[in-house]
A and B are shown apart, each in its own frame.
Chain A
């Protein structure tokens, strides 16, 4: 068991990529804190983990509120005694051209995706620093590099995570904490369904991906398990583009 007895907090783990990461971290032996703004979907992830013999608790968390993160962290500490792994996955997007993008929609996306990542790290880092050990993973997006995936609001929020990551990686590594990111591109989730409804545009899209298929949530979660493990202890400050070879083809 790669992550036996490790405690992992995964934000936005009520569905999609976040849920799969929670399931696979639990499968690798971690005790999982399912953090999500939605109780109903978060509780389902918890049940899925428990049904397969894992340990999980749900905490309600709106990542754009520091008090929410701090409350969630203290619940996690009471339940499991520490936090070893943090996966910042919670995020939102919308398909909007820059000319149509309102200030409010820009602000909301930046606040949840970028400021939310900072607040999550801010609220949880004291528990890692006290043990001088920890792994932080950020689920960003290839959008940071290509500018695709919804619009300028989304791409800015995701690229911003990369700058945050580079700072944290150099500041925290000397204190035992590594920070990395996965930047997925076209993973089969409901976000993909909304950006590309099933049909001919979707078939065209597959042709652009050298490996000949869309990414699966498991592609992200399996990499996340590896990066969260001690096998990855020399990997720090990296952004892994998980795109089937598409972006630079």
Chain B
């Protein structure tokens, strides 16, 4: 049977305790990977998720680091390598947003979003890539958003930060593929997460939203998780520098 197999691969999932990140963590664990679950403030959720995975016979450990802080990332990656011996896969998933128009968006808020969504990806990739280059192989997956194409998702700061990841993905893929490292991106939208539930608390509104999506439903974090696991596995070994839109057909309908 054709199956996604990540047995004994070590994956770092940033923001891996909640929302889309949790879906990615669960998919990777299901595929046999050892998972380092990064969190900034969701320590309880991260420990709980790691515990559940270990109970099912998998291996997962929670690691705290604010991805926007280069030194914290460096020390986290060091700790992960101490724990698991290596990092094969980095999934840059941690991200934040806020709702602003250009007029009320202040420079401080622009910086806050960019520091997590864009600089955070730089920080993790920089430290992990140095390690992967020595190993001669690796996979980096950047979780962006369709907001990069549509301008949606919160405001100018958010869509700029997510679109920047696409340039980052293409540049890194170009440079690192000859060193055995593949870099790709997934651009999801309308995935059932805390963020979406916060924005659409009423089930009726969520039903209305689902009707706008050609496949007729809101996405599940596992949808993104399965795609990321596929991309990270040998099955995805010819995919490099790609940006996959995961939206149930909504964006270009």
Please, how many angstroms separate the alpha-carbon atoms of A106 and B175 in the complex? Answer: 16
CB distance B172 to A114 under 8 Å? no
Is B133 interfacial (CB-CB < 8 Å)?
A: yes
Q: Using A99-B129, A171-B101 as known contacts, say yes or no to A159 and B164 having CB atoms under 8 A apart.
A: yes
Q: Using A147-B167, A147-B170 as known contacts, say yes or no to A66 and B107 having CB atoms under 8 A apart.
A: yes
Is B159 interfacial (CB-CB < 8 Å)?
A: yes
State which of B102, B129, B241 has its C-beta within 8 Å of the C-beta of A98. Answer: B129
Looking at the complex, which of A83-91, A118-126, A186-194, A200-208 is the stretch in contact with chain B?
A: A118-126
Q: Using A118-B156, A147-B172 as known contacts, say yes or no to A168 and B102 having CB atoms under 8 A apart.
A: yes
Bits for A158-171, please: 1 = Cβ < 8 Å to B, else 0.
11111111111111
CB distance B172 to A163 under 8 Å? no
Is A224 interfacial (CB-CB < 8 Å)?
A: no
CB distance B133 to A166 under 8 Å? no
CB distance B160 to A155 under 8 Å? no
CB distance B102 to A152 under 8 Å? no
CB distance A115 to B111 under 8 Å? yes
Is B149 interfacial (CB-CB < 8 Å)?
A: yes
CB distance B156 to A110 under 8 Å? no
Q: Using A99-B129, A119-B107, A168-B102 as known contacts, say yes or no to A110 and B175 having CB atoms under 8 A apart.
A: no
Q: Using A159-B163, A161-B160 as known contacts, say yes or no to A125 and B171 having CB atoms under 8 A apart.
A: no
State which of A101, A119, A156, A164 has its C-beta within 8 Å of the C-beta of B167. Answer: A156
Please, how many angstroms separate the alpha-carbon atoms of A114 and B163 in the complex? Answer: 11
Residues from chain A with a CB closer than 8 A to the CB of B107 are 66, 115, 119, 122
Looking at the complex, which of A7-15, A25-33, A38-46, A138-146 is the stretch in contact with chain B?
A: A138-146
Q: Using A98-B172, A166-B149 as known contacts, say yes or no to A115 and B163 having CB atoms under 8 A apart.
A: no
Please, how many angstroms separate the alpha-carbon atoms of A148 and B175 in the complex? Answer: 9
Bits for B136-153, please: 1 = Cβ < 8 Å to A, else 0.
000000000001111110
Give chain B nearest CB distance to A165 CB in angstroms: 8
Is A97 interfacial (CB-CB < 8 Å)?
A: yes
Residue of B nearest to A140 (CB): B167
Please, how many angstroms separate the alpha-carbon atoms of A118 and B123 in the complex? Answer: 22
Q: Using A98-B126, A118-B156, A167-B155 as known contacts, say yes or no to A125 and B170 having CB atoms under 8 A apart.
A: no
CB distance B170 to A237 under 8 Å? no
Please, how many angstroms separate the alpha-carbon atoms of A170 and B152 in the complex? Answer: 9
Q: How many residues of A contact B (CB 8 A)?
A: 46
Is B118 interfacial (CB-CB < 8 Å)?
A: yes
CB distance B126 to A169 under 8 Å? no
- For the complex, would chain A's binding face be called helix, strand, loop or mixed by DSSP majority? helix
Please, how many angstroms separate the alpha-carbon atoms of A3 and B174 in the complex? Answer: 41
Bits for A23-63, please: 1 = Cβ < 8 Å to B, else 0.
00000000000000000000000000000000000000000
Is B20 interfacial (CB-CB < 8 Å)?
A: no
Give chain B nearest CB distance to A133 CB in angstroms: 16
Residues from chain B with a CB closer than 8 A to the CB of A157 are 164, 167
B114, B149, B163 interface centre (most CB from chain A within 10 Å): B163
Residue of B nearest to A151 (CB): B171
Please, how many angstroms separate the alpha-carbon atoms of A143 and B151 in the complex? Answer: 20
Residue of B nearest to A165 (CB): B151
CB distance B102 to A172 under 8 Å? yes
Is B27 interfacial (CB-CB < 8 Å)?
A: no
Give chain A nearest CB distance to B109 CB in angstroms: 11
CB distance B102 to A145 under 8 Å? no
CB distance B170 to A146 under 8 Å? yes
Please, how many angstroms separate the alpha-carbon atoms of A157 and B171 in the complex? Answer: 11
Is A248 interfacial (CB-CB < 8 Å)?
A: no
CB distance A143 to B160 under 8 Å? no
CB distance A171 to B168 under 8 Å? no
Please, how many angstroms separate the alpha-carbon atoms of A169 and B159 in the complex? Answer: 12
CB distance A166 to B151 under 8 Å? yes
Residues from chain B with a CB closer than 8 A to the CB of A167 are 102, 147, 151-152, 155-156, 158-160
Please, how many angstroms separate the alpha-carbon atoms of A101 and B130 in the complex? Answer: 11
Bits for B165-191, please: 1 = Cβ < 8 Å to A, else 0.
111111111111000000000000000
Please, how many angstroms separate the alpha-carbon atoms of A154 and B162 in the complex? Answer: 15
CB distance A125 to B164 under 8 Å? no
Q: Which residues of B contact A (CB under 8 A)?
A: 70, 101-103, 105, 107, 110-111, 114, 118-119, 122-123, 125-126, 129-130, 133, 147-152, 155-176, 241
Nearest first, the 4 A-B pairs at minimum CB distance are A163-B163, A159-B167, A147-B170, A160-B164
Extra 17 A-B pairs, beta carbons < 8 Å, given A159-B167, A162-B166: A98-B171, A99-B130, A99-B133, A101-B126, A103-B70, A103-B126, A107-B119, A118-B156, A146-B174, A147-B241, A156-B171, A163-B158, A164-B159, A167-B155, A167-B158, A168-B156, A171-B101
